[in-house]
Structure 1
Amino acid sequence: MGGVDLPPPPRDDADVPRWTAELGLPGLVDVHVHFLPERMLRKVWDYFEQAETHYGVPWPVQYKLPESERYALLEQLGVLRFAPLTYPHKPGMGEWLTGWAGEFADAHPRAVRTATLYPEPSVADYLGRAVDDGARMVKVHVQVGAFDPRDPQLRDAWGLLAEAGVPAVVHCGDGPIPGDHTGLGIFAEVLEAHPSLRIVLAHAGMPDFRGALELLDRFPNLVLDTTMVGTAFSERMAPLPADWPARLADHPGRIVLGTDFPNIPYPYAEQLQAIHAWAAAEPRLGHGFLRSVLYDAPAEVLGVRDELPA
């Protein structure tokens, strides 16, 4: 495994605190978690129950639990801060979901305030209010929203985020299924128009991992999140390049922890096992890479570094 000396990876969720402690980490920071209004969440879970129809593979949601139990589980895993992400699929939802996410964060101290957006006349207004109220992350889901991120109605919203320095986690890749406006080349045009935008590329651009790495070379304010990347489930649909660990070593500090909790078809620990395997496979990664991905880099993205233990 490249001769990298690391503690054993977590065996399961209960073993995650042991692993982070042996790495010398106070805990984890996760930029890609989903909490939604209950009725909306139930519809999302119903969709995943029909995953064989939508995606061609079953997708049993691992953590189909009441909201309080899901939050408690993140605490037990040692997640010190996380971004609770929402996403609209039609006009009129963006402002409502942004308000809901703010109230959720106010009631849950490990959650940061987040916002979302949709191309509509009011988007810059409600997004601006969210930024003024302390939003630390904005969720943009091009595939679910079925909108073009280059839509002129979003121009002011992108400009607002660029000026404020508030990052957006953007699902714009073609996985798990492509949409009319997905593909990294399309979103690259947004980055070209707003080069100071701070973007977290969700799922590391899955399945176009090489394209995502090329975007890292072009846009210094871009990072990749690990959401579902390298897990056994995803490897069957979107396998990583064989040189993935070596390529990550060329981009220090540009990879951050994301998981898609709770809507994943496997335990949380499996994502951490995949990240651990990358660190163990490449001598240039190792312990420093794990600390960066799991803690330092996502804390920096969410603007919470000063709130957390060193």
Structure 2
Amino acid sequence: MTSSAILSRSAKSEPAGGFGPVATLPPGAVRLVGGAPAAEALLTGELAAAFTTALAGATALQYSVAPGIEPLRGWIAEHELSGADRARAVALAGRYGFLVISDNPYRSLRFAGAEVPDLPLDSEAVVRVNTFSQTLGPGLRSGWIAAPEWLLPVLTRLRANVDQHSSLLTQTALAGVLTVPGFFDGVLRTARELYRERSGVLTAALRSRLGERVAFDVPEGGIFLWMRATEPALDLVALRERARALGVEFALGRYFDPEGAGGHTDRIRLGFSNASGADIELGVERIAAAWVA
């Protein structure tokens, strides 16, 4: 079945944006959608204390929401630029007057392979942006930016035009924990060890249960695995419906196409960050059962 045929069959039941309609899953369902840090990697006690401190004596709090924010879309790069390629890109940016932006929220969660140096901050053409959502919790909706001094006033004005600023309460609480020596490094160490283990469980289960029916690169970091179905005629939309009925949820690759929902119809994204090893194995077992159903 072609990609267009798959989309045609599913057009009436699934909208183009987001991750599709909310599914009704049976009790005990395993969610391999991912997107949230592991509970074991979050020092919730310290965060709770930081929020308590931030609230103490507060006379006013402001909360703003920017209207019209589009559904979050991810793009998983299949190849990573080498250190030499990155240095060349920065040199070209300095020569021709454009900016190079480093935006990798999973950079600090690398647990295997060789680390590629980030773009150098000594260049006037480099901007780094990152988030605490993948490390300290998605609900914080806070991150940071490092940019040349000449660009900061422009960025500040742009941000003010969107929603003024991030929550003062959240910023104060984050400052309270991030300034504790070793706190954030400890969170990252715990997360990397957990994700290394859970990634290994997931890849082993996929090889055992699905074998040559799927292809994937072994994750070297982050919280997701990007998997391809090797059977061209397989309808992954129908597969997910069968999997949901068996009690497992995952994200279709079509929702990560930056051009819309027309590509990556042979791909599945599996999250392993906030699922135990036992749940990961059970989830893959159910996916495999749906595969042959």
Greater RCO (Cα-Cα under 8 Å, separation 6 or more) = 2
TM-score (norm 2): 0.27
TM-score (norm 1): 0.26
